[in-house]
Amino acid sequence: MTSMELIRGGDDLTMVRIVPPQTKTFAFEATKGAYLFSIDVSGSMNAAAEVQQEDGDKVNHGWSQLDIAKHSTNTFVTSLEDDDLVCIITYSDGATTLLDWTRCDSAGKEKAMEAIASMKPERSTNLMAGLTNAYDAFSRVPIAAGTLSQYALNIIITTDGMPSAQWNPARGKNGYKPLVRTLSKAAEKRAGVAGRITLTSIGLGCKLDSELLAGMSDQFLHMPDPGSVGPFMVNLLAALRCTARLPTKDGVVASHATLVVSPRSALAGPLPGYGAADPAEGEAAQVALGWIGYDQPRHVLLPLVRGSPAITVSLHVSGTTVASASSADAVAANEEQARRVAAQLLRLKTVDALGEIVVRSPAGIPSPQATPLTNLLEACERSIAKAEPDVEALVATLQQEAVLALKPPEPGDSSVYSIWGAHYFRTFRLMLLAERRSNFRDQALQHFGKDADGQEGVFEEQSNEAETAFATMKAPEPSLLVQPGAPAALGVPVAVGGSAPCAPAPVLPAEFMRGGGCFAPETLVTALGADGAPRRVPIDAVGPGDALLAADGSVARVRCVVVTPCAGGRVMLTRMPCGLELTEWHPVLDGAADGAPRWRFPLLLGRRVIRRCAAVHNLLLDRAHALEVTGPEGGAGRVAPTLAHGLQGEVVGHAFWGSAAVVDMLREQPGWEEGRVVLLDQAAAEPTLVHEAARAVPATA
């Protein structure tokens, strides 16, 4: 059942806590969905999906924005179930239906993949056609009459956010929000309240109009580069499949929930995070909550007029009241509850502060002001909730991400805010408001998706399944790469199109590919001296025969040091919060305090960096085959496997790099007898072996 409670906090604030059905009390089934993908195939989508380095240079690895759109859609579709429905539309000068509504059984998924693969860049960007045709397609969705309320109806529009002016509505860019409102109302009129459709917009790259996309959509996700595809799509899929049915698991899908407060005269002003409530029927006011998922409680703070009459608060979904409570039954907050009210207030104040920044500076002109953020951090420090785990995580995210987004530019450079910060703020504030996780990096979002007791629930299960599907899916072919003339003989791809030079192919494939994985040279491991005393040393100082402290506490000897030179003296790595840098597909053990540790890919946990680096390193040990590694600053690190580790299971298991096959390959290389192998010559002579090995599917997949 869905329950609601009112808790009276300080400063005339009353907290509404909505608890949806808890899946530990019943057999969970993923909510069925009808998913329409409307994908921009304009000429601008053929631009390179560049990655900006810390020194400001941009690197193009050959993937276009359209490649990334295809990959994100494939990630989503492969995780759907037989009863889900999918439709695929592309738009350029006009809109084309590549695949009409199809069940997502194995045959349907194959058709969807073929449709996705067929996409090619065309001409202009008629976003209006992409939207109009997407909403119209729901008029023919093959769902039996009377069962529409059992489906989550979703449009997912993917674009670089640069609509062509000649196709804009009559009001120009300002016309898209009214257009979506009109299309949405028409869909409801046609199918009833159960026919309301959720619009999620995905903005690719950093040259996009995120103000437009966020303004017209229920949810906006910014994916700045190829490395962000996995985290965002994994969490989007988990959220949509966990959309709650209320008041019970047999009720209506809660894609668009509304909180109704009566009488509205009891409200003292705008609601933190949500702003002014809208008038509702009679003397009531209403607040749009949007999506509600299973397990995850939702929280709203009501500022009430002191001495106001009793109020009634109710939760409505598709015209049905699914929960209600009266202030007459409200409880005064005890000490613990007072901290929780204060923590929710800080979350909602963050939503307001980020909103204030992007309204005053939509795209960096005028320069954004840090004052709202500074005031917010000071409020966190003064709050009685400052030691609450979610508040500590919120502060950490603001200090690590939001402060970076507002960093003043160097003379002559574009600001971080205009390139990335404004887009990031728009996504982050929407996720905070919805109490929803969109990635694995922002600490403030990692507390969402859990049940009323703070334990992991079905959101994490769905996320894990989607992550596994993403990790084992074949990478997209870089469409901007050709192999002409001499470079092809060396296996070095060349970029066509795009404004930046293409980085040469690394010896061990990096993004999207599941290679053996390597560490940055300054990665610290624990070595044992002649006296047995442990000391941390950089991995590039480790030699054959050295004794290392393994992750299980035993002593392992180094059989072979494996060095992989970085083509062009640069490499793409993931930087973990502890400062550790390693290749994006090298599994690490991720252990949450409230859950069992599990193997995860770094690209889902850290931040992508491109850096100057002569070579990356890995080790072959005589036993144990897993080390605790950390960054050059020291401190707590992560457990990571070494070569031929023999570990089985999702993510960590690998048919080549985790088996004796890699030892057989190393034995054939120069330097094996001395215990030090450099892989450059082997990769140039036999690129097929290395690349096919890197693409190998895990033995347990």
Q: Mind listing the pLDDT tens digit for each residue in 249-293?
A: 889 999 999 999 999 999 999 999 999 999 998 899 999 999 999
- Helices then strands, counting H and E runs in the chain, come out as 17, 34
Asked whether residue 74 is domain-assigned, the answer is: yes
Distance CA 478, CA 61 (A): 8
Residues 33 and 154 sit within 8 Å (Cβ to Cβ): yes
pTM of model > 0.85:
no
Distance CA 200, CA 268 (A): 32
**Is residue 60 located within the same domain as residue 114?**
yes
**Is residue 513 located within the same domain as residue 639?**
yes
Residues 575 and 607 sit within 8 Å (Cβ to Cβ): yes
**Is residue 49 located within the same domain as residue 149?**
yes
Radius of gyration of the chain (CA): 26
**Is residue 236 located within the same domain as residue 260?**
no
Query: What token pair was written down for 643?
Result: 């070569």
Its sign, for the CA torsion 164, 170, 175, 181, is negative
Distance CA 561, CA 619 (A): 5
- pLDDT value for 699: 30
Asked whether residue 327 is domain-assigned, the answer is: yes
Sheet holding 85-91, edge to edge: 95-103, 85-91, 32-40, 151-159, 198-204, 219-223
**Is residue 609 located within the same domain as residue 557?**
yes
Residue 139's SS3 state is helix
Residues 585 and 517 sit within 8 Å (Cβ to Cβ): yes
- pLDDT value for 552: 94
Distance CA 682, CA 417 (A): 44
What is the DSSP annotation of 272-324?
TTTBSPEE-STT-EEEEEE--BSS--EEEEEEB-TTPPP-EEEEEETTEEEEE
Distance CA 238, CA 437 (A): 9
For the segment 553-576, the average pLDDT, to the nearest whole number, is: 89
Residues 568 and 60 sit within 8 Å (Cβ to Cβ): no
Residue 8's SS3 state is strand
Tell which of 332, 347, 375 closes a domain. 332
Instruction: Quick: pLDDT tens for 605-655.
Output: 887 787 889 999 999 999 999 999 999 988 788 999 999 999 987 678 877
Query: What token pair was written down for 476?
Result: 């997209």
Least confident of 61-65, 303-307, 633-637: 61-65
Asked whether residue 404 is domain-assigned, the answer is: no
Asked whether residue 442 is domain-assigned, the answer is: no
Confidence of residue 483 (pLDDT cuts 50, 70, 90): very low
Residue 682's SS3 state is helix
For the segment 556-583, the average pLDDT, to the nearest whole number, is: 89
Distance CA 211, CA 216 (A): 9
**Is residue 588 located within the same domain as residue 688?**
yes
Tell which of 332, 354, 371 closes a domain. 332
Distance CA 291, CA 298 (A): 10
Query: What token pair was written down for 638?
Result: 């992560």
Its sign, for the CA torsion 4, 5, 6, 8, is negative
- pLDDT value for 601: 81
Asked whether residue 368 is domain-assigned, the answer is: no
Question: Which residues constitute the domain of residue 325?
Answer: 251-269+277-332
**Is residue 185 located within the same domain as residue 320?**
no
Distance CA 346, CA 382 (A): 11
Asked whether residue 408 is domain-assigned, the answer is: no
- Cα atoms in the 13 Å half-sphere on the side-chain side of 59: 20
DSSP state of 421: I
- pLDDT value for 19: 97
**Is residue 582 located within the same domain as residue 617?**
yes
**Is residue 166 located within the same domain as residue 231?**
yes
Q: How far is CA 486 from CA 15, 491, 494, 682, 691, in A?
A: 68, 9, 11, 19, 20
Query: What token pair was written down for 623?
Result: 């036993």
Query: What token pair was written down for 168?
Result: 């804009």
Taking the chain, what is the end-to-end CA distance rounded to the nearest angstrom?
36
Distance CA 370, CA 368 (A): 7
Its sign, for the CA torsion 510, 511, 517, 520, is positive
Q: Which of 180, 164, 257, 259 has its CA nearest to residue 215? A: 180
Asked whether residue 488 is domain-assigned, the answer is: no
Least confident of 10-24, 440-454, 470-484: 470-484
**Is residue 210 located within the same domain as residue 305?**
no
Q: Can you give the CATH number for the domain in which 535 is found? A: 2.170.16.10
Say yes or no to pLDDT of 224 above 70: yes
Say yes or no to pLDDT of 38 above 60: yes
Residues 473 and 462 sit within 8 Å (Cβ to Cβ): no
Query: What token pair was written down for 490?
Result: 């060396």
Say yes or no to pLDDT of 211 above 90: yes
Asked whether residue 197 is domain-assigned, the answer is: yes
**Is residue 100 located within the same domain as residue 200?**
yes
- pLDDT value for 680: 66
- pLDDT value for 468: 73
Instruction: Quick: pLDDT tens for 356-404.
Output: 999 999 988 889 999 999 999 999 999 999 999 999 999 999 998 898 8
Distance CA 3, CA 15 (A): 14
Q: Can you give the CATH number for the domain in which 206 is found? A: 3.40.50.410
- pLDDT value for 499: 41
Query: What token pair was written down for 538?
Result: 């950089």
- pLDDT value for 206: 86
Q: How many domains does the chain have?
A: 3
Better pLDDT: 232 or 516: 232
- pLDDT value for 226: 72
Tell which of 444, 470, 496 closes a domain. 470
**Is residue 552 located within the same domain as residue 581?**
yes
